Copies of this chain bind each other. A is one copy, B any other.
Amino acid sequence: MAELRREPVTRMWVVVTTDHPKGPSDYLPFKPPYRPQEPEGPCPFCPGNEGMTPREIFSLKGEKEGWSVRVIPNKFPFFHIEGDFDRRPEGMYDVMEAIGAHEIVVENPAHQTTLATMEPKQIKKILLAYKERLIDLERDRRFRQFLIMKNYPGIFNRHPHSHILAMPVVPKRIDEEIWGASDYFQRKERCIFCDIIKEEISMKKRVILETVHFLIFSPFASRYPFETWIIPKVHASDFHHIGEEEMEDLSVGIQSLFHSFETLLSDPPYSLTFHTSPIQDRLHRLHYHWHIETRLRIGLREGFEWGTGFFVNPTPPEEAAHYLRGVG
């Protein structure tokens, strides 16, 4: 038997298996999806090879020498920074130049570290680099949306790194959240994410970890097994307005969560995205609430989800949270 659960923000229905739910052992021994070979030759993200990358945009000093976090332009960007949008029709269609910024955050000098094995203080430095870059990029009035995104393991390089994008359009998933949150706010004059936080803290069963400033939980209509959200408990629309103390607290939470993933599911591949309010448009400050969404890339239902935008999750979030709490 299975339930249809409705994702409260975007109102998407998700099938969640409730009897015979899959636990971690059903995904083990973990059959990794195809992982590309490490490219041959020296790693451009390792210390000493800085000359192989485009010129550094930002860096934080290392404790003894060199850098601890380094931000560089992506050599193969999805968006280019120079030029005009040149919005134009093409027959019945609409097209414009892909103007934007695409930067790489090299998260650590060491090639072999992961979020599960890094010190929280190193994770805090990564968060600080994100924040500083977003503050700088916000000055460019052409951008409407920031995205911070990490794929583990990295597709073209295993050295720990993440992506910062500044885009001239709001991507679909954020746009759907904005729409749902805005509609909820109009009806209730409350932030829907704040309501979800209250609900989850009072129900407890999907909470993985509660820190001073953050809630880490499995969302009610989890689309993926072990899908996890990290959200500030006090309303905040923009990640880059995060304070010093919150960053410290968040870095401990992140390290703990990824340590749990590693322990429970033997170093699974994952994707992680920061959802933060569109910039320029200040209207969203009241009803949008920034958060981090993580997905483990385990299970094999891609075709179904892709073709339909319809998700089937064989691991109920209550079970996922139970397992993840257990190792935390």
Contact = CB atoms under 8 A, between A and B. Distances in A.
Nearest to A219: B93
Interface stretch (A40-48, A103-111, A294-302): A294-302
Contact of A308 (B1, B13, B171): B171
Nearest to A301: B155
A145 to B, nearest CB: 9
Contacts of A221: 93
Contact of A169 (B13, B80, B149): B13
Given A220-B90, A309-B173, A3 B95 contact: yes
Contact residues on A (Cβ < 8 Å of other chain), bracket: 35 or more
A91 interface: yes
Given A3-B95, A15-B79, A93-B8, A308 B169 contact: no
A66 interface: no
A31 B221 CA distance: 33
A295 B307 contact: yes
B303 A271 contact: yes
A168 B168 CA distance: 37
A1 B97 contact: yes
A98 interface: yes
**Which of A1, A8, A221 counts the most B-chain CB atoms under 10 A from its CB?**
A1
A172 interface: yes
B172 A98 contact: no
A94 interface: yes
23 contacts: A1-B80, A2-B79, A2-B80, A3-B95, A3-B98, A4-B168, A4-B169, A8-B94, A12-B172, A13-B169, A78-B312, A90-B220, A92-B199, A147-B308, A147-B310, A149-B307, A171-B310, A174-B308, A271-B302, A271-B307, A273-B306, A273-B307, A302-B302
- Sorted from nearest, which 9 A-B pairs have the closest CB atoms? A273-B307, A172-B309, A271-B303, A173-B309, A171-B310, A151-B303, A2-B98, A6-B94, A171-B308
